[in-house]
C-alpha cells in the first residue's frame, strides 16, 4: 500500500510481465521431470496391454482386478525398495535384502515361533530384520568394511542360516491371521496395498520432512563434509542399514502371507530387483540423490511389464531381456540434462516474441 501512495522519487521497477509467473515457465525440478517420464512409461505399457488384449481390457471388473494384481505384485518389492533407496541415498548398498527376507521368514515360521501366534511371528520377523540390519551397519560403519563386501557376506551367511533353521524344508504357516493378510480386502482394496502405501508414505515423510532424511542426503552426497558439519556419520549409516533391515522384516511378513509358507530359497534375487527399481527411479548409485516416489514408480514399471508379458503369454527369457534394456535406457535418459533442455526451449520462445 505504502509503496503505491508514496510519491516515488524511486520508480518501482516494472513488475515482470504476468505470464512469466505461470507454472509452465517456472523451472521444474529435475526430480519432477524424471518422475513424469516414468509415469509416461507406465502409460505406454498400459496402452500396450490395451492394444494387445482388448477383449480383457473391455471388462471393467477385470481391469480393476488387474490393477490390484499389479499392485500386489509390486507390494513386497516396493517395501524392500523403500529401505534400499535410503541406503543408496546414504552412499551405501545392501545386497543382502533377499537373504534377510528369507531368514526373517524362516525364523518366524518355525514351529516354536508359530506357537506364539501371529503377533509372535510378526515380532520375530521384524526383530530378525532389524537385527541383521544392525549387524550389517556395524560391519560397515564401525568395522569399516566396504558395503558391497559386507552385505555380500551377509547374503551368503543369512541364506545359510535360514537353510539350517528350516532344514531345507518349506515351512507352512498355520496362522490364519498371517495368511489372511494377503487374501483379504479392506474396503475393496487389498491389505497388502495398504501396507505398501503406508510404508511408502512413511518413507517419503522420513526422507523429505525430517532431519533424518536431510542427514541421509548429506551423508550420501559428501560424508566428510557431513562429518565436519556435526553429523555422526557412523551412527547414521548404522541406522540406515537398520532401516533397510526393518523394511525387509515387513516384506518377510508380507511374502510369507502371500505364499502361506516360508523357505530358505524365498525372495531369490530381490536385491537386484530393488536396486534396479531404485536406479530407474532416479536414485544415484553413488549416493546423495533420490526420491521415494521415483523408486515406487520404478517398482510399478517392472510389475506392469511382468503383468503385460503374463497376459500375452510371453516367455520369461524375453521379459528378462526387456527388463535389462529398460534399466539401461532409463539410466541413459537420465543423463540428459533436463535443465539445459528446458532452457533451450525457453530461449527459443523468447527470440520469437521479442
Partner 1 sequence: MKHAPDLSRRRMLLGGAALGAGALLTACTSNEPDEPSGGGAQTAAAGNNQNAAPGQKVTIGFSAPAADHGWIAAITSNAKAQAGAYSDVEFKTVEAGADAAAQRAALQTLIAQKPNIIVLLPHDGKELNAFGLEAMKAGIPVVNLDRAFPDALAYRLQIKGDNYGMGVSAANYIVAQMKAKGVSNPVIGEIAGIDSLELTQDRSKGFADTLAQAGFKVANRRAAEFTADTGQREAASLLQALPKMDALWNHDDDQGIGVLAAITQANRSEFLMVGGAGSKAAIEAIQADNSVLKATVTYSPSMASSAISLARLIAQNKGMSDLVELQVPKEIILASETITKENASNYLKLGF
Q: How far apart are CA 144 and CA 233, in angstroms?
A: 12
94 is an interface residue for partner 1 by CB under 8 A:
no
Residues 319/305, Cβ–Cβ less than 8 Å: yes
Q: Which residues contact 218 (CB under 8 A, 6 or more apart)?
A: 225, 226, 229, 231
Q: Does 127 bind partner 1 (CB under 8 A)?
A: yes
Q: How far is the CB of 319 from partner 1 (least distance, A)?
A: 10
Does position 69 bind partner 1 by CB under 8 A? yes
3-state SS, one letter per residue, for 241-302 = HHHHHHHHHHHHHHHHHHHCEECCCCCCCHHHHHHHHHHHCCCCCCCCCCCHHHHHHHHHHH
Listed ranges 65-73, 88-96, 276-284, 321-329: which one lies at the site for partner 1 (CB under 8 A): 65-73
Closer residue to partner 1 in complex, CB, 39/265: 265
Look at residue 120 and give its three-state secondary structure: helix
> Which residue bears the cell 546414504?
90
CB 264 within 8 A of CB 102: yes
Q: Establish how many alpha carbons lie within 13 A of residue 75's alpha carbon, considering only the half-sphere containing its beta carbon.
A: 28
Q: Which is nearer to partner 1, 29 or 65 (CB)?
A: 65
- 266: contact with partner 1 by CB under 8 A: yes
The region of 14-22, 144-152, 178-186, 235-243 touching partner 1 under the rule CB under 8 A is 178-186
CB 232, min distance to partner 1, A: 13
Per DSSP, 14 falls in state: P
Residue 304 binds partner 1, judged by CB under 8 A: no
Instruction: Give the footprint of partner 1 on residues 322-341 (CB under 8 A).
Output: none
In the region spanning residues 145 to 174, those forming contacts with partner 1, defined by CB under 8 A, are: 163, 165-172
In whole angstroms, how close is the CB of 236 to partner 1 at the nearest point? 16
Does position 179 interact with partner 1 (CB under 8 A)? The reply is yes
Number of residues that bind partner 1 (CB under 8 A): 54
DSSP state for residue 187 in the 8-state scheme: T
Which residues are near partner 1 by CB under 8 A? 56, 59, 62, 65-66, 69, 72-73, 107-108, 110-113, 116, 120, 123-124, 127-128, 131, 163, 165-172, 179, 182-183, 255, 258-268, 306-307, 310-313, 315-317
Amino acid at each position: 500500500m505504502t509503496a503505491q501512495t508514496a510519491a516515488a522519487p524511486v520508480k518501482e521497477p516494472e513488475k515482470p510481465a504476468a505470464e512469466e509467473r505461470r507454472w509452465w515457465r517456472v523451472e521444474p525440478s529435475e526430480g519432477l521431470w524424471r518422475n513424469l517420464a516414468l509415469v509416461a512409461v507406465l502409460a505406454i505399457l498400459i496402452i500396450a496391454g490395451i492394444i494387445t488384449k482388448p477383449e480383457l481390457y473391455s471388462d471393467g471388473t477385470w481391469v480393476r482386478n488387474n490393477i490390484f494384481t499389479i499392485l500386489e505384485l509390486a507390494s513386497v518389492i516396493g517395501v524392500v525398495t523403500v529401505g534400499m533407496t535410503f541406503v543408496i541415498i546414504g552412499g551405501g548398498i545392501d545386497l543382502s535384502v533377499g537373504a534377510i527376507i528369507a531368514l526373517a521368514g524362516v525364523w518366524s515360521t518355525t514351529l516354536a515361533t508359530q506357537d506364539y501366534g501371529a503377533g509372535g511371528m510378526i515380532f520375530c520377523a521384524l526383530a530378525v530384520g532389524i537385527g541383521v540390519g544392525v549387524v550389517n551397519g556395524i560391519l560397515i560403519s564401525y568395522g569399516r568394511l566396504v558395503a558391497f563386501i559386507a552385505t555380500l557376506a551377509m547374503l551368503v551367511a543369512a541364506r545359510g542360516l535360514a537353510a539350517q533353521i528350516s532344514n531345507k524344508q518349506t515351512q507352512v504357516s498355520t496362522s490364519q491371521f498371517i495368511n489372511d493378510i494377503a487374501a483379504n480386502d479392506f474396503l475393496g482394496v487389498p491389505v497388502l496395498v495398504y501396507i505398501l502405501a503406508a510404508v511408502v508414505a512413511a518413507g517419503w515423510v522420513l526422507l523429505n520432512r525430517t532431519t533424518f532424511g536431510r542427514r541421509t542426503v548429506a551423508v550420501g552426497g559428501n560424508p566428510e563434509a557431513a562429518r565436519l558439519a556435526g553429523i555422526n556419520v557412523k551412527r547414521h549409516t548404522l541406522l540406515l542399514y537398520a532401516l533397510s533391515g526393518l523394511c525387509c522384516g515387513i516384506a518377510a511378513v508380507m511374502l510369507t502371507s502371500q505364499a502361506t509358507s516360508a523357505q530358505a530359497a524365498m525372495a531369490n534375487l530381490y536385491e537386484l530387483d530393488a536396486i534396479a527399481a531404485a536406479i530407474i527411479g532416479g536414485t544415484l548409485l553413488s549416493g546423495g540423490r533420490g526420491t521415494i516416489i521415483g523408486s515406487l514408480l520404478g517398482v510399478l514399471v517392472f510389475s506392469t511389464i511382468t503383468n503385460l508379458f503374463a497376459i500375452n503369454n510371453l516367455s520369461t527369457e524375453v521379459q528378462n531381456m526387456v527388463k535389462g534394456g529398460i534399466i539401461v535406457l532409463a539410466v541413459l535418459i537420465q543423463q540428459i540434462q533436463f535443465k539445459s533442455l528446458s532452457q533451450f526451449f525457453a530461449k527459443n520462445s523468447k527470440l520469437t516474441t521479442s
